[in-house]
Structure 1
Amino acid sequence: MAKRLNLALPYVAWPDQDRQLFEAAHPRGDLFDLHPNAKLSDRTVYARRSTWGQFLQILLVHRPEQLAASPCLRVTVDNLRFATELLKRNCSDLTVANFLQRIHLVVRAMYPDEDWRWIYTAQRRIQRQAIPLPHREVLSSEVYPIGLSLVEKAIAASRVRGQATVNDAEIFRDGLVILTLTEQAMRRGELAAIDINEHLEKNDTLWVISLPAELTKTHKARRYELSERLSGHVDLYLEVYRPLFPNADRHTGMWPYKDRPMVDKMIRRYVRKHTQDALGFAVTPHRFRNAAATFTSVVDPANIRMAKGLLGHTSLAMTEKHYVDGSRSRLAARAHAKAWETLVAASKRQ
């Protein structure tokens, strides 16, 4: 029962009116489209569609008669209370709050003239009482060896056998994913979206990943310059291991899985598996970003602002609030202030 709660009704199975209203409220326009939702990223629209599909699935299983009504009449206090109580069986309060937030955004976009503030109020109440799940602090220096070990394991197995196999390719791929996440602190959606023809370029001996604005959460183009060591692993991956996957020559995704590119959720699953095996606890791709920010605050607290640029944030406040351990952030802030005072004093003496 718990797993079924997380299922979403496929888009093609939605009632016709839901599909029409959703598409009208989330147009995929160009730069000159003035619709307020035209600038939303594909990932944001996908998340909203998944949440609305999840709501429809709950109604289909438990209150199927509701699907005959218009979307406006389905979004009631009773239906949302029922849905959130079901979700609470296997979801955290924060997940439930995110569910309500997206429902609010979707129905407000579908029916902008109606008053949906009551959903926002309920979402904020749940969010305020939510207890964040405890996460063990992890540093980049702890997860990087995991990726390196997987890469070396694949290479060693290939040498012993005299040739590389698909199993070696899978291990090498997973190791390279972890190394890339550790070094570049990319979001998993960005990582999954890498196209070897469109986004990878060789600059002398180093590889560069260039992602256009439409593929990033911040809607700003990102450029990731890989280190010499990581670039060497990318060379080996592209030349030896990636071609071993079935149909690898028929798509240009960076990370093949069987006969198709990996999606971001699949990347998350494998990263969690390998970190669980190595550390005794799972680390999600998102936690790699925390690891990078915290590692920066530990080894170079005077330059804590480097973490903001590393994570692609527009403000240091965002970095400190969500990615750096609070105590370390305060220590880093004091170190940064002291370093600034030293620079000012030195400039006055000159």
Structure 2
Amino acid sequence: MPASRQSAPPAVTTPSSSTSAVSPAMPRKLALDLVAMRDWPQSDCAAWHAALRPGDPLDDPGPLAGRDVERISKFCAAYGRWLGFLSESGIDWQAASGLDFLVRENVGPFMTRLNAALAPCTVRAYLTELSTVATAMAPDRTFDVLNAATRHIWRTAKPVADKRGRIVSARDLYDLGFELMQGASKRTTPLKAAGAFRDGLMIALLAARPVRRRNLVSIEIDRQLTRQGDLYWLSFPAEEIKTRRPLEFPLPSALTNPVEEYLARFRPFLVARNGRWKDEPGKALWISSDGSRLKGGRIHRRISERTQERFGHPINPHLFRDVAATSIAIEDPEHVGIVLAILGHSTIRTSEASYNQANGIEAARRYQSVIAAYR
């Protein structure tokens, strides 16, 4: 059935300095090799595994135990990035531990290197992840310089670009999702058809229920996604949510048939694929073209590319959350508090500060036009 819709830090250049600003036209990509974990010093590998150690009746769990796979991958990349920087700087770390080089003489240039290529909030994320990893791998040590640098950038980092120019309405994203699903049968190959339907379903689902990317990635059939009566529900336990509060909500009824069609037709087709790097996907909802679980980076690319084709600029999965808050503020300002439930925030202040890009004048104007239409 085709888818249908019913209605005191190191003395370095900081992100707040004019010399560290990243031009909007500059590609935000760091040309720095990451050192794979297999090439880390032996002591670092041992410390990493100890940090991940699950608890048992006789031992406490490691500091990173219980973190989700995507988060662990970011932590691993953070330390690999640090070792890559040391190599690029001509520092011989192989016989020691990369943690020993987290001193002012190295942390300062590392920040400068990041600031030259990345947006301030990305630099903040990279430093925070490195600080978390260092503390987890060596809980008995203090990394004063790195921690001071991290605190400083949390105080000073501001987004480089105004996101208002990239915001579209939630309805437009929802429509795009359905158009991709409805047009899937017209694609030139079965693989392209499956990819279009999958991407359309992801976009429509995110437009309606803008969960964080890691939660979108983690969805498994009969675990986070279940059928209850005529509707599909998404349920995430507290340990999988950033705010540590469980989330549970139904998908719109208009998505019931598309989910059914994806599960019955397109997902089995994708699972049957045998790409070179295939890993058995288990019950993962989103499947890649090689038959594996679709990972976060590829979901980001697929959604960004589909929205780029339609709107002329990419809308990544996280920006869907801005879209939701802004759409509510413009179209239903009297009930803006519902954004709490939609985004899973604990306070309305978080939603307003982090995501709501609506211009106050535009919101008021549209709200007045809605009122006038019903007179």
Task: Please tell me the TM-score bracket, short chain as reference.
Answer: 0.7 to 0.9
Instruction: Give the superposition deviation at 1:245.
Output: 1.4
In structure 2, the residue matched to 1:346 is none
Give 1:271 deviation, angstroms: 0.7
Q: Which runs of 5+ in 1 are unaligned?
A: 336-350
Q: In structure 2, what is the Cα distance between the partners aligned to 1:165 and 1:107?
A: 47
Q: 1:254 aligns with which of 261, 282, 285?
A: 285
- 2:343 is aligned to 311
Shift of 1:79: 1.8
For 2:336 and 2:362, the matched residues in 1 are separated by 10
Following superposition, the deviation at residue 132 of structure 1 comes to 1.1
Residues 67-89 of structure 1 deviation map (CA, whole Å, 9 limit, x = unaligned): 32223322111222232222233
Query: Residue 275 of structure 1 aligns to a residue in which SS?
Result: helix
Task: Decide whether aligned partners of structure 1 residues 44 and 260 sit closer, same or farther in structure 2, where only a CA change above 3 A counts.
Answer: closer
2:138 matched residue in structure 1:
111
Tell me whether 1:207 sits opposite 2:237 in the alignment.
no
The share of aligned pairs that are identical, in percent, is 27
Q: Contact 1:206 / 1:226 at 8 angstroms: preserved in 2? A: yes
What secondary structure, in the 3-state scheme, does the structure 1 residue paired with 2:226 have? strand
**Superposed displacement of residue 151, structure 1:** 0.8
> How far apart, in 2, do the equivalents of 1:305 and 1:221 lie?
18
Which of 49, 63, 72 in structure 1 is aligned with 2:90?
63
Query: CA offset at residue 110 of structure 1?
Result: 3.0
1:11 to 32, 37, 42: 37
Residue range with higher mean Cα deviation, 2-11 or 224-233: 2-11
Asked if the contact 2:30–2:114 (Cα under 8 Å) also holds between the matched residues in 1, the reply is: no
Q: How far does the alpha carbon of each residue in 1:151-176 deviate from its partner, in whole angstroms, 9 at most, with x for none?
A: 11114x17xx8xx8121011000000
The answer on 1:229 being equivalent to 2:254 is yes
Q: Deviations over 1:123-146 (max 9, x none)?
A: 343444434132223321222221
User: Counterparts of 1:172-321 in structure 2 under 5 Å?
Assistant: 172-247=197-272, 251=281, 252-258=283-289, 259-321=291-353
Contact 2:32 2:85 in 1 (8 A): no
Q: In structure 2, what is the Cα distance between the partners aligned to 1:78 and 1:70?
A: 16
Match of 1:348 in 2: none
1:297–1:20 Cα change, 3 Å: same
Distance 2:252 2:111 in 1: 46
The answer (yes or no) to whether the contact 1:248–1:256 under 8 Å persists in 2 is: no
1:64-79 alignment, distance < 5 Å: 64-79=91-106
CA displacement 1:209-229 (0-9 Å, x = unmatched): 223333332333322311111
- Per mean C-alpha deviation after superposition, the further-off stretch among 322-331 and 108-117 is 322-331
Matched AA of 1:148: F
Code of the residue aligned with 1:84 in structure 2: it is M
| Greater share of residues in helix | 1
Q: Which structure is higher in RCO with an 8 Å CA cutoff and minimum separation 6?
A: 2
Aligned residue pairs, count: 328
**Equivalence for 1:149:** 179
Displacement of 1:195 in angstroms is 1.3
Which amino acid in structure 2 is aligned with residue 152 of structure 1?
Q
Tell me what 2:149 maps to.
Answer: 122
68-77 or 184-193: which moved more?
68-77
Q: Residue type of the partner of 2:177? A: G
The Cα of 1:253 is off from its aligned counterpart by: 1.5
Unmatched tracts of structure 2, length 5 or more = 1-26, 275-279, 368-375
Structure 1: how far apart are the matches of 2:169 and 2:360? Answer: 12
CA–CA distance in structure 2, aligned partners of residues 38 and 265 of structure 1:
23
1:326 Cα shift? Answer: 6.6
> How many Å apart are 1:106 and its aligned residue?
2.1
Dislocated runs of 4+, deviation >4 Å: 1-4, 30-42, 326-332
Displacement of 1:118: 2.7
**Cα deviation, residue 40, structure 1:** 4.4
Which residue of the partner structure matches residue 86 of structure 1? 113
Deviates more, 1:182-191 or 1:218-227: 218-227
**Change beyond 3 A, Cα 1:326–1:242:** closer
Query: Distance between the aligned counterparts of 2:206 and 2:56, measured in 1?
Result: 31
Distance 1:188 1:329 in 2: 31
